[in-house]
Amino acid sequence: MTAPVSLNAHQSEFWSSRARIAAFIAGWGSGKSFVARLKLLTYHLAVPGVECWAGMASYRQIEDSLIPDFFRALPQLERYFSKGELSVSLPNRSKLMFRYFEDPEKISNVNLRACWVEQAESVPEESIIRLLGRLRHSDEAQLLLTANTAGQNWLGRWLKGGQSPYPFTLTEADSFSNREHLPAHYLAFLERLRATRPAAYQRFVLNSWASTEGAVWPQFSEAVHVIDPFPVPETWRQGISLDHGYRNPTAVLWWAVDQDGVVYLVDEHYEAGKVAEHHAAKIKERPVHTWQDAVADQSIFAKTQQEGGMLVSVADRYLTHGIPVRPASRKVDGELLAVVGEWFERRQIKIFRNCVNTIREIRDYEWTKHKQSYLDKHDPQERPRDIGDHTCDCLAYLIADRPIPALPALPLSILETVRRRRWDYEEPEPQPETQAGIAGLP
């Protein structure tokens, strides 16, 4: 089937891909949304009686951009739209649903012909795996991914690192490949980025995979900060940092601080859909000296829950189940995140390899990307993306407290001196009477 409108060479390549995963990773304004929308509608939804999804990471993103953009591009579809269901029911009995993919648990019980994931780099890998599990309609069922490059996260590992669970096609293009459809002022804006924001220009215009532009902690590197686990000496300060969620995962990080003040993230608990009692039980499975100091988000101290006719907080619930937590000394904001970045820079944070969710979240943690506002990232209004940041928050609460180093281990020579002194000044122990002594009596 040929496309119903004229497409450029990159768009045509993506349009004609029949691979299980068709990825179009390209610069701003390169026409990736245009062709993905068209492909979903005129190739997949043209089949009668099928269900397709289109979505992004968060509900806000689909409400603010995906749905309005859809109807701006294809206004004739709006009359089939149900706002309550967030779906378009076509006359051929096919249905398009708008979904958000932040929570992998919400992806189940459906047999899809196709799914388009817009800004796929912001969607958790687990959700993408689940979506692939839903694509069972036929051999032609397809996952369409549109994104900017994200060399550090699953998108880079799948498409550039040979770790994709399915065969895929990858179409790549820079912004200028769609020059003919971009207004002159926008082209001039992209050009100006070359000098004003070279790293953003590399990633979002030239589509380079090498850039860490947009990362909250570009200082983080798995090669430098991730280490093999070792038994933590009991003399080190140890504790936990907690970020409680119900719909979102609850994250608990076990940390330890050595004599030089290096913070080690040694273990994690990461689970969604469970109450405080469950997480408290998980914490208590570990040795008690590892969770004697417990710090948590200030918000869980608000008394918002009813229990036995009384108002209690989430923190109260942890206390009832044996885990006393104290509030973090401050909230997570841009300034605190910059401090954490400095700790990474100085190699004062090390992460045990077994903390897989922590490593993933820290690596994938990005500022919100709303194009122009993104470029004003040094504006204090700039926020990190609040998706998949649970262990990152735990780390920030911990660093906010400026964790105190463990007491120095005394070198052997000092111990030896102290022992000798004791011999010098202490009364000599009474010697047992010996045969010789008795015999020596006058």
Ligand X SMILES: Nc1ncnc2c1ncn2[C@@H]1O[C@H](COP(=O)(O)OP(=O)(O)OP(=O)(O)O)[C@@H](O)[C@H]1O
> Cβ 181 to ligand X, closest distance in Å?
4
Q: Give the number of other Cβ atoms within 10 Å of residue 277's Cβ.
A: 13
CB of 5 to Mg ion, least distance (A): 17
Tell me the backbone φ, ψ of residue 311, rounded to 5 degrees.
Answer: -90, 125
User: Both tokens of residue 185?
Assistant: 């002022």
Residue 202 as a binder of Mg ion (CB under 5 A): the answer is no
Give the span between the Cα atoms of 57 and 70, in whole angstroms: 16
Cβ proximity to ligand X: between 35 and 132 the closer is: 35
Site membership for ligand X, residue 34 (CB under 6 A): yes
CB of residue 68 to Mg ion, shortest distance in Å:
12
Task: Write down the least CB distance from residue 55 to ligand X, Å.
Answer: 15
Q: Which stretch binds ligand X (CB under 6 A): 1-9, 188-196, 223-231, 362-370?
A: 1-9
Size, binding site for ligand X by CB under 6 A: 14
Q: Quick check: 116 binds ligand X (CB under 6 A)?
A: no
Verify binding: residue 207, ligand X, rule CB under 6 A. no
Instruction: Say whether residue 33 binds Mg ion (CB under 5 A).
Output: yes
Smallest distance, Å, CB 33 to Mg ion?
Answer: 3
Asked if 115 and 144 touch (Cβ cutoff 8 Å), the reply is yes
Answer with the entry of Mg ion, ligand X, none that 210 interacts with (C-beta below 5 to 8 A by kind): none
Among residues 5 and 415, whose Cβ is nearest to ligand X?
5
Question: Which of the listed partners (ligand X, Mg ion, none) does 28 bind, with a CB threshold of 5 to 8 Å by partner kind?
Answer: ligand X
Q: Does 30 bind ligand X (CB under 6 A)?
A: yes
Which one of the spans 22-30, 75-83, 249-257, 310-318 is the region binding ligand X (CB under 6 A)? 22-30
Buried b / exposed e along 392-421 (16+ C-beta atoms within 10 A): bbbbbbbbbeebeebeeeeeeeeeeeeeee
Toward ligand X, which CB reaches closer, 153 or 238? 153
The stretch near Mg ion (CB under 5 A) out of 26-34, 283-291, 349-357, 412-420 is 26-34
Please give the residue whose beta carbon sits closest to Mg ion in the complex. 33
Question: Which stretch in 27-35, 286-294, 377-385, 405-413 sits in contact with Mg ion by CB under 5 A?
Answer: 27-35
Q: Which does 60 bind (CB under 5 to 8 A by kind): Mg ion, ligand X, none?
A: none
Among ligand X, Mg ion, none, the one that 205 touches (CB under a kind-dependent 5 to 8 A) is none
Q: Please, what is the minimum distance in Å from the beta carbon of residue 168 to Mg ion?
A: 20
Choose among ligand X, Mg ion, none what residue 255 binds, the Cβ cut-off being 5 to 8 Å by kind: none
**29 part of the interface to ligand X, by CB under 6 A:** yes
* Residue 30 is a binding residue for Mg ion (CB under 5 A): no
Would you say 26 or 226 has its CB closer to Mg ion?
Answer: 26
Residue number, 61 or 142, with CB nearest to ligand X: 61
- Which contiguous run of DSSP H or E holds residue 271? strand 263-271
Nearer to ligand X, 47 or 187 (CB): 187
250-257 and 237-243 as β-strands: parallel, antiparallel, unpaired?
Answer: antiparallel
Which 8-state DSSP code applies to residue 104?
A: G
Q: What distance in Å separates the CA atoms of residue 40 and residue 43, rounded to the nearest whole number?
A: 6
Query: Which of Mg ion, ligand X, none interacts with 351 (beta carbon under 5 to 8 A by kind)?
Result: none
Three-class HEC string of the chain: CCCCCCCCHHHHHHHHCCCCEEEEEECCCCCHHHHHHHHHHHHHCCCCCCEEEEEECCHHHHHHHHHHHHHHHCHHHHHHEECCCCEEECCCCCEEEEEECCCHHHCCCCCCCEEEEECHHHCCHHHHHHHHHHCCCCCCCEEEEEECCCCCCHHHHHHCCCCCCCCEEEEEECHHHHHHHCCHHHHHHHHHHHHHCHHHHHHHHCCCCCCCCCECCCCCCHHHHEECCCCCCCCCEEEEEEECCCCCCEEEEEEEECCCCCEEEEEEEEECCCCHHHHHHHHHCCCHHHCCCEEECHHHHCEEEEECCEEEEHHHHHHHCCCCCEECCCCCCHHHHHHHHHHHHCCCEEEECCCHHHHHHHHHCEECCCCHHHHCCCCCCCCECCCCCHHHHHHHHHHHCCCCCCCCCCCHHHHHHHHHHHHHHCCCCCCCCCHHHHHCCC
The interface mask with ligand X, positions 166-185, x = CB under 6 A, is ------------x--x----
127 makes contact, choosing from ligand X, Mg ion, none, with CB < 5 to 8 Å by partner type, with none
Part in contact with ligand X (CB under 6 A); list of ranges 31-39, 235-243, 257-265, 269-277: 31-39
Q: Which does 318 bind (CB under 5 to 8 A by kind): Mg ion, ligand X, none?
A: none
Query: Using the rule CB under 6 A, is 98 a contact of ligand X?
Result: no
Between residues 33 and 250, which has the closer beta carbon with respect to Mg ion?
Answer: 33
Q: Which residues bind Mg ion (CB under 5 A)?
A: 33
Q: Which residues bind ligand X (CB under 6 A)?
A: 5-7, 11, 26, 28-34, 178, 181
